Amino acid sequence: DVLTSNAEHWSFARRVPAGVVAVISPFNFPLILSIRSVAPALALGNAVILKPDPRTPVSGGVMIMRAFETAGLPAGVLQLLPGGAETGAALTEAPEVRIISFTGSTAAGRKVGEAAGRHLKRAHLELGGNNALVVLPGADLAKAASAGAFGSFLHQGQVCMTAGRHLVHESIKDDYVAALREKAENLPVGDPMTGQVALGPIIDQAQRDNIDRIVRQAKDAGASIEAGGTYENLFYAPTVLTGLDKDNPAWAEEIFGPVAPVMGFATLEEAAEIVNASEYGLSVSILGEVGEAMKLADQVHSGKVHINEQTVMDESNAPFGGVGASGTGSRFGGYAANIEAFTETQWLTMRPDIAPYPF
């Protein structure tokens, strides 16, 4: 930008590369969630060190390296650093790294943010979510149940944007539960390599056990399992829960699995209060009449709001990110957000000759 100035010089604000950017990516969408930071960071003149999740080093790392090598990227500009949490910690604290782009759990993100703060580094944190899907009175139940099922069960619920809380107006809640139950009971679950399925496996046994732990705790706390709640090997059945209160583990925690807890509400004000009671603030879906939906959209604290669409939405040119425990407010996607994320602002002044000074 060219700046106005009262001094006898030209004045500019320009964006310059930050230097070395560390990209730490997760297992659930390893290619997409790596490349969305790697590509703009490189395009803006930075060098990049990529550390994929140790469970997905090929799709989250090796494939990207091969693609850039084939495209002619100079050697050393993009480096691949495989490893687990200790590797990520070392990368975060390395003095050569100036910006950290982290996508993963809120617990791990807090540690990354703390380490970055100690070293006065910028950290872009895209973290977890316990996202609300709100169904307003008068909404088309069949379409709402379809949106709810897709939002909760897509990719086995292993998405930061998964619909983790279904908040349905009390006048239609029972009918919505019945429609969602039917969806859950009829979705095919199995190995996607052997046939057409809607849900495949959970990433590993530890994650499957954590999903089942939360479902069991939810039942012990008074919830009813309307559908699912069972697993075979790593295949967890689409699960619908009712009879929850705001303190129930399945309502309060991010499950990261194919579980759809359902609760009722009476007014828009109550719906906004329940949505905002979560520490997370990544994505909110509102299904129903647009005018009423906008009233609610204006009251919720969330990085993304989708009216008459489910919660799992991402586009390469749209600013993506959350607030609260879902992130630090920084964004990925679109030229403005990417330039802000991966460059520094520099003030530059210029004169044709050396300026005179009084001494």
DSSP sequence for 240-294: EEES--TTSHHHHS---SSEEEEEEESSHHHHHHHHHTSSEESEEEEES-HHHHH
What pLDDT is attached to residue 331? 86
Whole-number pLDDT of residue 145: 98
Q: What's the DSSP call for residue 157?
A: G
- Angle value at C-alpha 127, between 122 and 132, nearest 5 degrees: 140
Tokens 């950017």 -> residue: 21
Determine whether 69 is an active site residue: no
Task: Summarize pLDDT for 48-73 with one digit per residue, the tens.
Answer: 999 999 999 999 999 999 999 999 99
Which residues are within 8 A (CB) of 22 and not within 5 positions of it... i.e. 6 or more apart? 48, 49, 51, 91, 92, 94, 97, 99, 100, 101
Taking only Cα atoms into account, the Rg of the chain, rounded to an integer number of angstroms, comes to: 23
Helix axes 106-118, 85-93, angle to 10 degrees: 30
Which listed residue (93, 114, 160, 273) is catalytic?
160
**Cα 292 to Cα 281: distance, rounded to the nearest angstrom:** 21
167: helix, strand or coil? strand
From the list 114, 126, 232, 269, the catalytic residue is 126
Dist CA 152 CA 129 (whole Å): 12
**Reported confidence tier of residue 323, pLDDT bands at 50, 70, 90:** very high
User: What's the rounded Cα separation, in Å, for the pair 325 and 97?
Assistant: 24
Question: 253-267 as b/e, with b when 16 or more CB fall inside 10 Å?
Answer: bbbbbbbbbbbbbee
What is the rounded CA–CA span in Å between residue 226 and residue 152? 15
* Confidence tier at 332 by pLDDT (50, 70, 90): confident
Contact between 132 and 287 under an 8 Å Cβ cutoff? The reply is no
Element (H, E) at 38: helix 30-43
Look-up of token digits 């973290």: 127
Bridge partner residues of 14 (DSSP): 346
- CA-to-CA separations, 9 to 2, 258, 354, in angstroms, rounded: 11, 61, 10
| Among the ranges given (182-196, 275-289, 324-338), the one the predictor scored with the smallest mean pLDDT | 324-338
Instruction: Check residue 330 and give its pLDDT.
Output: 81
Whole-number percent of the chain with pLDDT over 90: 96
Q: Residue 324: left if φ>0, alpha if ψ -120 to 50, beta else—which one?
A: left
**What is the pLDDT confidence band of residue 329, given thresholds at 50, 70 and 90?**
confident
Please state the rounded mean pLDDT for residues 334-339.
Answer: 91
Handedness of CA 166, 171, 175, 178 (dihedral sign): positive
> Pairing mode, if any, of strands 343-350 and 10-17?
antiparallel
| Band of residue 334 on the pLDDT scale cut at 50, 70, 90 | confident
Domains in the chain (CATH in brackets) are: 2-127+327-349 (3.40.605.10), 131-307 (3.40.309.10)
Taking all residues of the chain, what is their mean pLDDT, rounded to a whole number?
Answer: 96
For 21-31, the pLDDT digits (tens) are 999 999 999 99
- Class of residue 121 by CB neighbours under 10 A (exposed 0-12, middle 13-18, buried 19+): buried
pLDDT in tens, 208-265: 999 999 999 999 999 999 999 999 999 999 999 999 999 999 999 999 999 999 999 9
- The structure tokens listed for 85 are 């949490």
3-state DSSP assignment of residue 212: helix
How much of the chain exceeds pLDDT 70, in percent?
100
Q: What is the pLDDT of residues 122-176, one digit of tens each?
A: 999 999 999 999 999 999 999 999 999 999 999 999 999 999 999 999 999 999 9
Phi, psi at 26, each rounded to 5°: -95, -175
Residue 299 confidence class, pLDDT cut points 50, 70, 90: very high
Mean pLDDT over 271-288 rounds to: 98
Active site residue 182: no
Residues in the chain: 359
**What is residue 316's predicted lDDT score, i.e. its pLDDT?**
87
3 state SS of 324? strand
Residue 194 DSSP label: T
